[in-house]
Amino acid sequence: MNTACEHEEFEFLDFSILRGNGLDLVLCDVVDAEFEDGRAPMYCFEIRLEGQSGHIGDLSLCVGEGGQVGLEGQLSYEIDEEFQGNHYSSKACRVAAELARAHGMREVWIVVSPENIAACRTAERLGARLVEQVEVPEDSELYRQGQRHKNRYCWRIDRLQKMEVGLRGQKNCV
């Protein structure tokens, strides 16, 4: 396992905003692990331009290796259409990588539909390696939504140069 979170005693870090790369990742929710369903603990963020209140996208980070890693990944991102083309996804992912490293993760799995060229390019821009393309099982919700294949990328975050990430909230933990 690539994280310090190997059992049910997971502790979310205490902060409200991660700041870096000209962006604020505003913590909107934390989702506890559902070990029976293979779900890892998850942070959910709204992406904003630094110091501004307008929403430009969303990012989520699952800490640990749950069953969802195969088809959903640990890191997901989406930028609103009017803000696309500015590399905000890759910038936000680099900020989130510092949180993942604070939890002891060495790598992060990014799983995207091969048809989503922008998401694939973001993973590649981060330096993630395409490991495989997997078929979506017919009994899954993703299949019912029309998705048939997923590209699985492995992003080695332990090799990244540490970046300065500011935390706003209760305690400085990164």
pLDDT at 68: 62
Helices 117-126 and 88-102: crossing angle, nearest 10°? 50
What is the three-class DSSP state of 147? coil
pLDDT at 162: 83
Low-confidence stretches of the chain (pLDDT < 70) are 1-8, 35-37, 66-69, 167, 169-174
pLDDT at 7: 47
Enter the pTM of the model. 0.87
What CATH number should be reported for the domain whose range is 17-159? 3.40.630.30
pLDDT at 34: 78
One DSSP character per residue, 23-90 reads EEEEEEEEE--BGGGTBPPEEEEEEEETT---EEEEEEEE-S--GGGGTT-SEEEEE-GGGTTS-HHH
pLDDT at 108: 96
- Tokens read off for 96: 């989130």
